[in-house]
Amino acid sequence: MKAPRPPRKGLVIVNTGNGKGKTTAALGVLFRAWGRDLRVIMLQFLKHEGARFGEIRAAEKIGVTIRPIGDGFTWTSRDMDKTIALARHGWEEAKRLILGHEYDVVILDEFTYPLQFGWLDTAEVIAWLQAHKPPSLHLIITGRDAPPELIAYADLVTEMREVKHPWAQQGLAAQPGIDF
Amino acid sequence: MKAPRPPRKGLVIVNTGNGKGKTTAALGVLFRAWGRDLRVIMLQFLKHEGARFGEIRAAEKIGVTIRPIGDGFTWTSRDMDKTIALARHGWEEAKRLILGHEYDVVILDEFTYPLQFGWLDTAEVIAWLQAHKPPSLHLIITGRDAPPELIAYADLVTEMREVKHPWAQQGLAAQPGIDF
């Protein structure tokens, strides 16, 4: 006898670890979801200077939004007040998208960093998601060092572990169209 | 003084490990490469029955080829002669694409399985790639249990490690547009 079909539900997916492929796998989901006519958006919480062109160009070509939050910020930012304000603004925008029922898949790229650096309170973020995320919404969060509370909350967690990396080991440059 | 710009070169990328995201990250590269007008193709060596619809639909929509090799085969196939013949045929097709200069990025999805199961000789495959892969071509290989010789040959190797998986742990079904 076959088991009853398991329930459908919006997954909370976390791609973490020190290796490549966290954002790239999220882009793969974005592409696959678009292929099934799901409505998908990516917010980028950590903007690398001028990078990501390949995916932003590709997303524009298919009419999917990949939106950097604010003006870009890093943990080496000179103006930490601004950096923190932008991260918090980004989270407000994420909440709006999560509540809005405009999207089937919301990707918060590099969202672990504001959590890890304490710009947002992880417990508050998880509590908000537990209370408010629509059950059918797929939520994807990427970034190194996912906090344990986020891993506990997530349905699917993958660690991308660096086995071999050409930039460090062979002095090769990041390759356009492959790495960004 | 800034170091001289490192050389550009076609990378050999391997996504392996027991976790999610190996094929999905390769799809992310496919999408990103397409965004930069690189010519990209994916051969799928292991065809899951009826799965992968999301990415195949998406690829069709943007005019990129994702081509299953042969009629589909697995290591539980009843007709192993046919299974092995299809894998070998797939590798011949891969060689043709690698030599053909028609593509900038060639993705051999789930190509580790024919190597792991001995349907192709890993040493011969690596020797052929070392002798024939055009230096500028990006080659991406996905699948569990990448053989050590392939890891040694590759430039960039990431292990996707399963930290938490909803199908096994929560009895949730694979979600269309997310998982396939």
Residues 68-107 of A with CB under 8 A from B: 104-105
Is A20 catalytic? The answer is: yes
Token reading at B72: 């589909």
Residue A3, CA distances (Å) to A7, A10, A74, B171 in order: 12, 21, 49, 10
ipTM summary value: 0.84
Is B23 catalytic? The answer is: yes
DSSP helix, strand, coil percent of chain A (3-state; round to 5) = 40, 20, 40
Cβ-proximal residues to B14 (8 Å cutoff; 6+ apart), any chain: A163, B140, B141, B142, B146, B150, B151, B154, B156, B157, B158
- Tell me the percentage of chain A whose pLDDT exceeds 70: 83
Q: How confident is the model at residue A179 (pLDDT cuts 50, 70, 90)?
A: confident
A84-117 pLDDT tens trace: 888 898 999 999 999 999 999 999 999 999 999 9
Report how far residue A151's alpha carbon sits from residue A134's, in angstroms, rounded to the nearest whole number.
19
Q: How confident is the model at residue B68 (pLDDT cuts 50, 70, 90)?
A: confident
Token reading at A110: 């590099």
Q: Which of A66, A105, A178 to mutate to test the interface with B (most CBs of B within 10 A)?
A: A178
B27 and A26: CB-CB below 8 Å?
no
B116-166 pLDDT tens trace: 999 999 999 999 999 999 999 999 999 999 999 999 999 999 999 999 887
Residue A66, CA distances (Å) to A154, B89, B119 in order: 22, 39, 42
Q: Which residue of B has its CA nearest to A139?
A: B178
pLDDT at B52 (0 to 100): 57
Report how far residue B67's alpha carbon sits from residue B177's, in angstroms, rounded to the nearest whole number.
19
> Taking Cα atoms as reference points, which of A81, A92, A103, A133 lies closest to residue A30?
A103
**A178 in contact with chain B, both atoms CB, cutoff 8 A:** yes
Is A22 catalytic? The answer is: yes
Strands (E), chain B: 12-16, 40-44, 65-68, 105-109, 138-142, 156-164
Q: How confident is the model at residue A22 (pLDDT cuts 50, 70, 90)?
A: very high
Degrees to nearest 5, angle at CA B175 with A146 and A27: 55
Question: Across chain A, what does the average pLDDT equal?
Answer: 86
Is A18 catalytic? The answer is: yes
Helix (H) or strand (E) holding A38: none
Q: What is the three-class DSSP state of A166? A: helix
pLDDT at B37 (0 to 100): 94
B11-64 pLDDT tens trace: 999 999 999 899 999 999 999 999 999 999 999 987 654 555 788 889 999 999
Pairing of strands B65-68, B40-44: parallel
- Give the amino acid at B151: I
pTM for this one? 0.87
**A116 in contact with chain B, both atoms CB, cutoff 8 A:** no
Dihedral (Cα; A121, A126, A132, A137), 10-degree rounding? 120
Determine the distance in angstroms separating the CA of A3 from the nearest CA of chain B, rounded to an integer: 10
Q: Domains (ranges, CATH) in chain A?
A: 12-161 (3.40.50.300)
pLDDT at A78 > cutoff 80: no
Contact A29, A71 (CB under 8 A): no
Contact A178, B138 (CB under 8 A): yes
pLDDT at B75 > cutoff 70: no
